Amino acid sequence: MTLTVTRSRRAAHSAPSARWRSRKVQGWLYAAPTAVIVGVLFIAPLVLVVWMSLNRWPLLGPATFNAPANYVKIADNPLFVDAVLFTLKYTAITTVLLSGVALGLALLVQERRPGIAFFRTAFFLPGAVGFAAAGLLFYGMLNNDFGPIDPMLQSLGITSEPIKWIGTPNMALFSTITLVLWRFAGFNMLILLTGLQAIPTEVYEAARSDGANRWQIFTRITLPLLRPTLALMLILSVTGSLLAFDQFFVFTNGGPDNSTVSMVMVVYRDAFFRFDLGGAAALSVVLLVALVGLNTLMMRRLR
């Protein structure tokens, strides 16, 4: 590629029109790797997922056209219907708690003061840990025999016996949400901090000189001016939660009794345990259309 570029560049000196054409060619050459990656690994799978969803597509062996059987089947998949309800519930709780905690943290570390950089780093640091590692960390930390949390709660007199952290559906959901808050609160705090710092200090000074108290400043100035940033955070949180997979796969493994099976987990199980790639593709298409629609709607309403 080096050669082609330099050669066409040399030719460019001869005539203006040739030079213009060579600029176009050069632009294309620089963008070519991007075009190949986007075309082969993004556009092609997008087309393929639709085609797959219209076929009986076993993990091994030839595919046969069977539309719309894969889509019809979705309604009869009780695990998926349960997973949709569970994922919606998880998304609602996570988004509300995550927004609240992240906003609280962001307000606490908003002003530059001595030592504040340390706290920002401390809150964000779990975000650098991968979900698989974080899931295994909590798996050990909340284990009844090995983990430190049960003995701590008992010695403080808060509980009298070990808690079934992932042993009942409600506790499994609670524990997973705690894990997600730990991992993502700092990440969302960073997003909100960028929004908070974009609010001009003069606005606050003007409000203060008009005699507004802290609560009034928060509800009348901070929140409204933070709206675009809050919207971005909400979209990221809702999308991320609706597509939750790692935390449930690693931490609860969908249990107990399939009570924490998320939508993406059903896609995974259909594909690699029931060897039904066509069915998994149909579920993927439904999720894709729903999420793109939802994102568009949210952006329009919130911006």
Partner 1 sequence: MSRYLTLSALAVLFLFPLVWSGYASLEEPSNYLEMARFGEGIDTYAVNSVLVSAMTVGGTLIVSALGGYGFARFDFPGKNVLFLATLAILMVPYATILIPLYVLLGYLGLQNSLVGLSLVFVMFQLPFALFMMRNAFEAVPRELEEAALVDGCGTFRAFSRILLHAVRPALITVGLFAFLASWNDFFAPLILLNDGSSFTLPVAVVSMTQHTFGAIDYGMLQAGVMVMALPCLILFIVLQRHYVRGFMSGALRG
Residue count of the chain: 303
Residues 185-200 as b or e (16 or more Cβ within 10 Å = b):
bbbbbbbbbebbeebe
Burial class (CB in 10 A: 0-12, 13-18, 19+), 14: exposed
- Outline where 76-168 has alpha helix (H): 78-108, 116-124, 131-141, 149-155
Binding piece for partner 1, criterion CB under 8 A, among 80-88, 153-161, 163-171, 284-292: 284-292
Nearest CA among 190, 189, 178, 101 for reference residue 135: 178
**Among 58, 79, 97, 126, contact with partner 1 (rule: CB under 8 A):** 126
Cβ atoms within 10 Å of 217's Cβ, excluding its own: 16
Q: Which of 9, 19, 73, 164 binds partner 1 (CB under 8 A)?
A: 9
In which element (H, E) is residue 76 found?
Answer: none
The set of residues, in sequence order, having a beta carbon less than 8 Å from that of 246 and lying 6+ positions away, is 131, 132, 135
| Interface with partner 1, residue 246, by CB under 8 A | yes
Which region, judged by CB under 8 A, interacts with partner 1, from 81-89, 159-167, 212-220, 241-249? 241-249
Beta carbon nearer to partner 1, 173 or 247: 247
Which residues within the stretch 94-123 sit at the binding site for partner 1 (CB under 8 A)? 105, 108-109, 115, 118-119, 121-123
Q: Which x/- pattern, by CB under 8 A, does the window 40-79 give for partner 1?
A: xxxxxxx-xx--x----x----------------------
Q: How far is the CB of 164 from partner 1 (least distance, A)?
A: 17
Give the residue, chosen from 29, 85, 92, 206, that forms a contact with partner 1 under the rule CB under 8 A: 29
From 71-79, 206-214, 218-226, 289-297, span contacting partner 1 (CB under 8 A): 289-297
If binding is defined by CB under 8 A, does position 256 make contact with partner 1? no
Closest contact distance (angstroms) between CB of 1 and partner 1 is 8
